[in-house]
Every structure is written in structure tokens, then in C-alpha cells.
């Protein structure tokens, strides 16, 4: 048991040591009514309108790649399926805000289609909600009537 803990801490320490560029692993960006973001409470559920788990890699404020989850012998990896160079579009509206749903950061030496990225250090059930570079809440992915949703665990004020 102790060796597993030491191995986990060593792996985490190596992930924190940046040898390669870092990218943020997120769900596709979602436009949400501003009022809904102000009225978040623990145990609230946000329906995302997604039936399939899709991911993107982001570098600060731009989308770099679309990726899919590959499960190889109980090892989670991401495979890059499409490269993007798309600046995140902002909404010029007081009614809506762009919501970024983040799983954390990953490192990749090269971003090329077909490349895989190890994500064993990321808990795919836990997410952080961001809007306008402000951390709004932490939550968990859940399934509601075969639709992906987020249950709010903690609201950041």
C-alpha cells in the first residue's frame, strides 16, 4: 500500500514538473444564462445538452484540438482526432456567459492527429466550472436520462 502511495505522489510530482507544453482538458464550451451562473447552489444539476462525452484541449484562450477518450487495458488515454486553431469566441451579451468545464491540465510533447496523451492522473468524474477566468464551482459529472450533466458539489463565491 505504501509503495502505491509513493508511486502516486511521484507520478503527480512528475506531472507538475513541466517538460512539455500544458493544455487544459475541457468539455466543449457552453453558453449559459448569466442569471443561472449567479444562482448556483450545492446539489444543483446543470444539463449540458450533450449525449456523448466530447473533449477539447485548450491553451489559455484558444482551442487547440478535439480529442476522444480511449480506454486501453484500464488505462485512460486521449487520442487527438482533429487539430484546431480557433480563438474562443466571446459573447457580447449581458444575458449569456461562456462556461468552461475543466478536468485539469495535461502535457503533450506534440499535438498531431493520432497522437495519444496519458490522463491517468486526471479524475474524469470531477470538474471545475470557469467563466470569464473566474472559478465558479466544483462539481461531478452525472448521467440524467442519458444526457451528460454536472452536479454542483461546491460553489466558489
Confidence band for 60, pLDDT divided at 50, 70 and 90 = confident
Tens digits of residue pLDDT in 76-126: 888 889 888 767 666 667 788 888 999 998 888 878 888 888 888 888 889
Q: What's the whole-number mean pLDDT along residues 67-77?
A: 83
Q: What sign does the dihedral 91-94-99-100 (CA atoms) show?
A: positive
Position 2 scores a pLDDT of 59
Cell of 123: 479524475
Q: Pick the range with the lowest mean pLDDT from 13-17, 56-60, 91-95, 147-151.
A: 13-17
Confidence band for 142, pLDDT divided at 50, 70 and 90 = very high
Position 152 scores a pLDDT of 94
- Each domain of the chain, given as residue ranges in start order, spans 21-155
E strand or H helix at 13, and its extent? Answer: helix 2-16
Angle CA(73)–CA(105)–CA(35) in degrees, nearest 5? 115
Asked if the model's pLDDT at residue 134 lies above 70, the reply is: yes
Amino acid at each position: 500500500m505504501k509503495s502505491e502511495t509513493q508511486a502516486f505522489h511521484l507520478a503527480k510530482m512528475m506531472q507538475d514538473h513541466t517538460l512539455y507544453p500544458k493544455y487544459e482538458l475541457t468539455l466543449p464550451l457552453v453558453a449559459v444564462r448569466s442569471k443561472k451562473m449567479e444562482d448556483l447552489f450545492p446539489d444543483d444539476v446543470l444539463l449540458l445538452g450533450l449525449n456523448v462525452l466530447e473533449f477539447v484541449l485548450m491553451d489559455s484562450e484558444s482551442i487547440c484540438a478535439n480529442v476522444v477518450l480511449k480506454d486501453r487495458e484500464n488505462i485512460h488515454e486521449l487520442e487527438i482526432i482533429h487539430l484546431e486553431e480557433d480563438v474562443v469566441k466571446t459573447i457580447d451579451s449581458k444575458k449569456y456567459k461562456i462556461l468552461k468545464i475543466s478536468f485539469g491540465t495535461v502535457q503533450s510533447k506534440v499535438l498531431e492527429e493520432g497522437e495519444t496523451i496519458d490522463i491517468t492522473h486526471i479524475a474524469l468524474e470531477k470538474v471545475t466550472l470557469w467563466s470569464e477566468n473566474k472559478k465558479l464551482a466544483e462539481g461531478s459529472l452525472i448521467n440524467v436520462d442519458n444526457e451528460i450533466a454536472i452536479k454542483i458539489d461546491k460553489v466558489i463565491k
